[in-house]
């Protein structure tokens, strides 16, 4: 009877050891860690985009004071900011590729509108020499750099996470627990970027 009990105990211990070993190699904990890294880097991207959005009204008002006749560009910037604000971006955005793409496109339009605004400012020497404008421009440039860094960190975190949820055997764990790949930023108009710029004299 003791031998039967010892054999049953040994079998139970072996099964438990197998389950623990399998669980530690299934990738669940890795998926959790990498998912958290993606969420943290996404939060930083949102934070930097919000910082840029907060600067825009002051920038537009400063330019308007010197270049009110550039109403089209000022309206574009204001409209682009409203477009960005109309999209509620949060961590749920990462599970909705269409919403993610829409948000990325809205941010791209914002970047483009701001670029046009800064080009307009070049035509107004008094505006360029205005201390408030220079300060806002410096803050905007710093924010754009932070956005680039935050997006790069996000892209790296997503690349690592997506690799994990697609590799065997962690892909099985990902499917069981409902983890899929996450969207990443891409370069829009890749064909346009690959073309050399036209130089006209």
What number does CATH give the domain 36-181? 1.20.1440.20
Residue with tokens 């409203």: 82
pLDDT at 192: 41
pTM assigned to the model: 0.79
Which residues of the chain fall below pLDDT 70?
1-25, 187-201
pLDDT at 120: 87
Alpha-carbon gap, residue 93 to 12, rounded angstroms? 44
Q: Is the dihedral of CA 118, 120, 123, 127 positive or negative?
A: negative
Alpha-carbon gap, residue 113 to 97, rounded angstroms? 24
pLDDT at 102: 94
pLDDT at 190: 43
**pLDDT tens per residue across span 150-170:** 999 999 999 999 999 999 989
pLDDT at 128: 84
Q: Are 64 and 132 in contact (CB under 8 A)?
A: no
**Residue 56 CB burial class (10 angstroms; 0-12, 13-18, ≥19):** buried
pLDDT at 9: 61
pLDDT at 67: 87
3-state SS assignment for residue 199: coil
pLDDT at 86: 93
């Amino acid at each position: 009877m003791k031998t039967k009990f010892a054999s049953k105990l040994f079998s139970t211990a072996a099964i438990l050891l197998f389950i623990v070993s399998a669980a530690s190699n299934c990738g669940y904990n890795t998926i959790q860690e990498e998912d958290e890294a993606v969420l943290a880097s996404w939060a930083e991207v949102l934070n930097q985009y919000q910082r840029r959005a907060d600067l825009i009204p002051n920038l537009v008002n400063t330019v308007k004071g010197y270049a009110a006749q550039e109403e089209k560009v000022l309206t574009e910037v204001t409209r682009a900011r409203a477009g960005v604000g109309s999209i509620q971006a949060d961590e749920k955005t990462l599970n909705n590729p269409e919403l993610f793409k829409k948000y990325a496109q809205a941010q791209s339009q914002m970047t483009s509108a701001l670029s046009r605004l800064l080009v307009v400012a070049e035509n107004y020497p008094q505006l360029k020499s205005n201390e408030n404008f220079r300060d806002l421009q410096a803050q905007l440039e710093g924010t754009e750099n932070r956005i680039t860094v935050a997006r790069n960190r996000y892209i790296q975190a997503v690349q690592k996470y997506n690799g994990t949820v697609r590799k065997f055997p962690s892909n099985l764990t990902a499917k069981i627990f409902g983890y899929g790949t996450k969207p990443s930023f891409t370069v829009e108009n890749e064909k346009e970027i690959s073309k050399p710029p036209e130089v006209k004299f």
